[in-house]
Each structure stands twice: as structure tokens, then as C-alpha cells.
Amino acid sequence: MWAVRFEGVTKRYRLERTKYRSLRADVANLARRAVGATPTENRAEMEALSDLDLEIDEGTTSAIVGRNGAGKSTALRLISRITYPSEGRVRVRGRVGALIEVGAGVHPELSGRENIGLYGSFLGFSRAEIKQRFDQIVEFAEVEHAVDMAVKYYSTGMKLRLGFAIASFLEPAIFIVDESLAVGDGAFQAKCINRMQELGSEGTTIVFVSHELAAVEALCEQGIWLDRGRLIQQGPISDVLRAYSRSLDQGLSLEQGDHDGQLRCVRATTSNSLGELTSTFGVGESLKLDLAFAGSGALEQPQVNLRITDGEREDLIECGSAPEALDSAATRATWSVRCTIDSLPLNPRMYQVWCSVLAGTPPTREMNWTEIGAIRVQPPNGWASERTMTSIAGPPVAVNAKWEIEP
């Protein structure tokens, strides 16, 4: 029997095209509303999920995998009722406990004690039932010394521990965890993994999202692969991860569209030091990125800039070409460049790759920052750390350290 069912679900988000609106546009929209017409909004729409049909069975431990922007977090928000579908229906059986963001489920102005009571009352627990579970929650969260302090004074780690403990100890029928576990220390991450395994053995349905495929494989039985809001594959976790990894190794994903003759990136591929096309690299390995651009005319002193991010933090890597380095491309409307990073200083997990182009003197932006795909960094043989041993992604930066025994 299913615990979660998506029936033709489409979810759209409205994006502001400009930062400011004009008074004339606002007055015109008021007039349209007055006569029953549809206002003209200065917004674009982004479709996060598209006609998604999906079932998650009761008592299973499932992982949702996919590149950044695939719709994973949106699916979790729909299950937990944080947001609702634009079309279709999401059906859920049972109480949902969710940890989607750090501090989710806790009110900053209330104390830890008050938050436990408030969350429990929302879920329908009596005061006696909340009191019965109170000590377990506080002990697991390790906030005994601060349980009567306002949560706004908690550290990020304390908020994470409290949110996870509340969500997991108030008997959820469905427990949802997003990538937020990655901000906790290694010891707490191990506790969380053990707690999730306990819940799974007790029959709780678990839905887990992580870019760290080792964590997914260690914890989950079933896999759900989403790409650009659509279901690609669902089944045993080993089968799904095998197919998903093969797709990553075929190179970067790049969606071409109509850019009205403006400069655009039409092809992006990555290869290793052997010249093999792949998007999977080891820590410290060489990465070669080949980009092809097309536009309406030649450019003067084009400068190509790259960013690598992990979807959570600020830019982890940013680099750009010098203006004179690509002078030969100035006379052509279609041109290609290669960027080589000799050693990737990144820990194992998934990363987003972005590109922009400047040109002219002084430089002006010819192509805005555009996501051109994703790469995966995997641990090399013999790689060991507290993070990887608990199967959770750690800090983004990797260092090459040498260890030896002193005589």
C-alpha cells in the first residue's frame, strides 16, 4: 500500500523578471482586476515538476536523486505540505515529520521546551504524550543546557539537532530529510543515520534527498531519479544509482533554447586527464571543460568565467580567462574554448557548473550566469575521513595531506 502518491503533479514558481515594478503597471493591473480581467504580471514562470506520477510504498526507505534543479526539494515540500501543486494532487497517508532546512519546524522566539510542545500539539499529541517523549528529544538533541533558552540564540548545529529530534521522536508515519544533515558534525550525523535506520525498522516510511550517493546507497532500499521535474526511473536503489551514474558519466547536461540571437553556450563537455568524456572525477584529479558558444556576431576581447557551487553555499570555485587569452575568437560568431583545472580541490559530492561571458572595453556582460550542468566528485581509493565513514557529505574543500609515522 502506498504512503505517498503524486497524481499528475505540476508545480510552477513565479520569478520576478525585474526588481522594481512601475506605478503605471500597478494601476493598469488594478483596472484589469476591477473589470474581472487577468492582470499582466511582470513575472516569468519556472516549472519545477512536470506532470509527475509517483508512488512511495509504506514502510520503505527511498532516496530521491538527480542533478540540482531536478525538483527533489520541491517534491519534499509538497509531501510535507509546505507548498501545494499548481496542477494535480499529492496524497499522503499518516503523520509527516520533516527536516528540510536547518531550523525548520522550530520558532526562533520560543524556547526549545516551548517548541517541542508546540510541534507536538500541531501533530495532535496530548500534553501527557509530549511529556512522555520530552526527555528523549532533549537528550538526543544535546540541548539540556539550553532547553529554556530562545531558539534564536542557538547555534546552527543546535537548531539542526533540535529540529531533527523533534521531527523523528514524535512518531512520524513518514519521515523526510533533505541535505540539511550535511551541516552537522560527524558524530551527530552518525546519530541521525542510526535514528533513521531505527525508524525504518519500525515501519516508518523514509524519504531522503542527498547528493552524496554513498549516503543514499547505505541508507535506502528504493531509488527515485528525477530530471528537470520528470520521473526518469524508480526501483531498487542499486539499479537507479547505476543508471544515474551512467548519465553523469556522459558529460554535462545542457539544455539549449531560443535566446533571440544572443550569445549562448551550445555545448559543454568534461573530460579527465586521459581525454575520456566523463562528469565523474576523483578528489585532486584534473578536469578539462570544453565549451562552445554561438551568437549573432563577433565579440571584442571575450572573457569566459566559470563557477562551481554545491547548491547550498556561495561559490566554491570561480575562475575566468584573461581578455587577451581569447582574442582569436573575436572575429567569429561561433567559437570554442577549453578550461583545465589541474587539481579539483573538492570533497566527494555533486556540484553545479555555471558559465558567463563578458566582452568589450570596459567589459560588459554578453551572457548571464547560466547553469551548464553538474559534475560528481568521488572518493579515491584509500580516502578516509569522519564524514565519508558516516556516509554524509562534509565541507566542500579537500586538501592533499601526507601522513607518516615518526621514528
Domain ranges of the chain: 2-10+49-244, 264-389
Report the C-alpha gap between 387 and 407 in whole angstroms.
Answer: 29
Name the strand (E) or helix (H) holding 27: helix 23-34
| Look-up of cell digits 497517508 | 93
pLDDT (tens digit per residue) in 350-376: 788 899 999 888 888 989 988 888 888
Per-chain mean pLDDT for the chain: 82
Class of domain 264-389: mainly beta
* Interior angle at CA 210, CA 45 and CA 6, nearest 5: 55
Cβ distance 174 to 99 under 8 Å? no
Give the relative orientation of helices 156-169 and 112-122 as an angle to the nearest 10 degrees. 30
Taking residues 210-234, report their average pLDDT. 86
Q: Which amino acid is at 83?
A: T
Taking residues 295-315, report their average pLDDT. 80
DSSP string, 90-149: EEE-S-EEEE-STTTT--TTSBHHHHHHHHHHHTT--HHHHHHHHHHHHHHHT-GGGTTS
> Across the chain, how many H-helices and E-strands are there?
9, 17
Report the SS3 class of residue 217.
helix
| Other beta carbons less than 10 A from residue 147's beta carbon | 17
pLDDT (tens digit per residue) in 316-347: 899 998 877 777 766 677 888 999 999 999 88
pTM score of the predicted model: 0.70
At residue 389, the pLDDT reads 46
368 or 23, greater pLDDT: 368
Report the C-alpha gap between 57 and 101 in whole angstroms.
Answer: 24
Q: Please, which contacts does 125-128 make with residues 24 or more away whose CB atoms are closer than 8 Å?
A: 125/170
| Segments of 250-363 assigned E as strands | 264-271, 280-282, 287-294, 303-309, 317-320, 334-341, 349-359
pLDDT (tens digit per residue) in 238-282: 899 888 877 877 666 565 555 556 888 888 989 998 988 888 898
At residue 55, the pLDDT reads 95
Rounded to the nearest 5°, which phi and psi values hold at 219? -100, -30
| Other beta carbons less than 10 A from residue 381's beta carbon | 5
Most confident of 80-89, 98-107, 395-404: 80-89
At residue 18, the pLDDT reads 47
Query: 2-10+49-244: which CATH number, 3.30.460.80, 3.40.50.300, 3.40.50.2000, 2.70.98.10?
Result: 3.40.50.300
pLDDT at 289 over 90: yes
- What number of CA atoms fall less than 13 Å from residue 70's CA on the CB side? 24
| Other beta carbons less than 10 A from residue 231's beta carbon | 20
Which whole-number Å values give the CA distances from 135 to 76, 138, 139, 337, 347, in the listed order?
Answer: 29, 5, 6, 60, 37
346: closest CA among 375, 372, 373? 375
Are 2-10+49-244 and 264-389 the same fold in CATH?
no
pLDDT at 386 over 90: no
Taking residues 300-325, report their average pLDDT. 82
* CA terminus-to-terminus distance, the chain: 63
Determine if residue 168 is left, alpha or beta; phi over 0 gives left, psi from -120 to 50 gives alpha, anything else beta: alpha
At residue 124, the pLDDT reads 79
